[in-house]
A = this chain, B = another copy of it.
Amino acid sequence: MVASASGVSSATVSRVYNNPGSVSAEKRNAVFKAAAKLGYIPNKSASALRRNGSGIITLLEIKKEKREYYWAELSLFKWFYADVLKAVKEVTDPSMFQLNLATAANAEDLGKLKGTTDGLICFDVDRMEEAELIADSGLPFIIGHHTKNYTGFPRCSTDNEAGGVLQAELLKKAGCTRPAYITAHLDAVEPHRDRLNGFLSAFGREQVTIIETGVGRDAGFKAAKGIISELKSGRIDGIAAVNDITATGAGYALTDAGLKVQTDIPLAGYDNMPFGIALPFSLLSIDINPAGIYRSAAKMLLEELTGKASQASRIISPFAASNPF
């Protein structure tokens, strides 16, 4: 209908939507005008069918086998995922691709996706084996977001080291010069190492008291409890933690000891979790910008699928949380 209304062939209409440059401006405009008049929206199913692909891009959640520490076991994880989802949709909606969501834990799960999807945006890849598993699927893919060091894979990564620096700056701005840093699982969890390294580079290793006991509220509580006297003497004058929940525990320990969070002792977490509304104190934090990361990832995948040149990797900077809790 659009073709006849604009006096061109259906092939030209198709070209207008898929490769506008190959059609003369004159005909292109005629097509757009007719399309607008008729309320024409290209049919994604037909497109996919003819392209002989599924017409579907999958946002793949990589399910982790039981491991020592994994944040997605927190129900709060869902909040993060929802942000990512929205960002990816922003990119896929105007494209010829429909967005699918899936979870996979192993090669078998990935195999099932084979005929069903044209490409993968892989959420929360943080082990080399996962990256390899995905690559082995044979499907086009982009991995995110703790993937900065996975050279050789198309990826979109957060810069945890930069985040550690930002965290340090947050404390410095509050007047801190000799902070404690609470973390854990440094061997197993690369992002934890990166964050710490960034933090140390900004403060100078000698200024920082590293407390490597555990993550979570209770661990944070204990860690801070253990340095109350140093905090009171001023030997330590601020606390950073590898994530918000650990920082929260530290906050309770401070409160318990009669120290006012932020006022007496600046306290910074990481992740910019949304439970601030329920907390009895505010928290400084770092936002890894999940939406930015996966928006980029989606764009990269789309470029690859449509044959446009695309960069192999991209690093997205985190930012200091602008909404104090």
Chain A residues close to B by CB (< 8 Å): 39, 41, 43-46, 48-49, 54-56, 74-76, 78-79, 81-83, 85, 89, 98-101, 115-116, 216-217, 244-245, 248, 252, 273-275, 277-280
Chain B: minimal CB distance from A267 (Å): 13
- Count of chain copies: 2
Partner of A274, one of B78, B85, B101, B217: B78
For A82, what are the chain B residues with a Cβ–Cβ distance below 8 Å? 78-79, 81-82, 85
Query: Does A76 contact B74, Cβ atoms closer than 8 Å?
Result: no
Pick from B39, B83, B115, B274: contact of A76, CB under 8 Å: B274
Shortest beta-carbon distance from A227 to chain B in Å: 20
19 contacts between A and B (CB under 8 A): A39-B115, A41-B116, A43-B54, A44-B54, A46-B49, A74-B274, A76-B79, A76-B274, A78-B79, A79-B79, A82-B82, A82-B85, A85-B85, A85-B101, A252-B280, A274-B275, A275-B278, A278-B278, A278-B279
Q: Please give the distance in Å from A283's CB to the nearest CB on chain B.
A: 10
Residues of B within 8 A of A280 (CB): 252, 280
Residues of B within 8 A of A278 (CB): 217, 244-245, 248, 273, 275, 278-279
Q: Cβ of A54: which chain B residues have Cβ within 8 Å of it?
A: 43-45
A274 CB to nearest chain B CB (Å): 4
* Cα distance, A279 to B99, chains bound together (Å): 36
Shortest A225–chain B CB gap in Å is 14
Given A76-B79, A79-B274, A217-B278, 6 other A-B residues pairs in contact with their CB atoms under 8 A? A78-B81, A78-B83, A78-B274, A82-B85, A89-B101, A274-B275
* Distance from A69 Cβ to chain B, minimum over Cβ atoms (Å): 14
Residue of B nearest to A40 (CB): B115
| CB proximity of A101 to chain B, nearest CB, Å | 6
Contacts of A217 in B (CB 8 A): 277-278
Contact of A43 with B39 in the complex, beta carbons under 8 Å: no
Residues on the B chain within 8 Å of A78, using CB: 78-79, 81-83, 274
Contacts of A279 in B (CB 8 A): 278
The 8 tightest CB contacts between A and B, nearest first, are: A78-B82, A275-B275, A75-B274, A45-B48, A45-B45, A45-B49, A78-B79, A275-B278
Quick one: given A45-B49, A81-B82, are A245 and B277 in contact (CB under 8 Å)? yes
Q: How many whole Å from A45's CB to the nearest CB in chain B? A: 4
Complexed CA–CA distance, A252 and B281 (Å): 11
- Residues of B near A75 (CB, < 8 A) are 79, 274, 277
Complex Cα spacing A300 to B50, Å: 32
A98–B58 alpha-carbon span in the complex (Å): 12
A277–B74 touching, CB < 8 Å? yes
Residue of B nearest to A89 (CB): B101
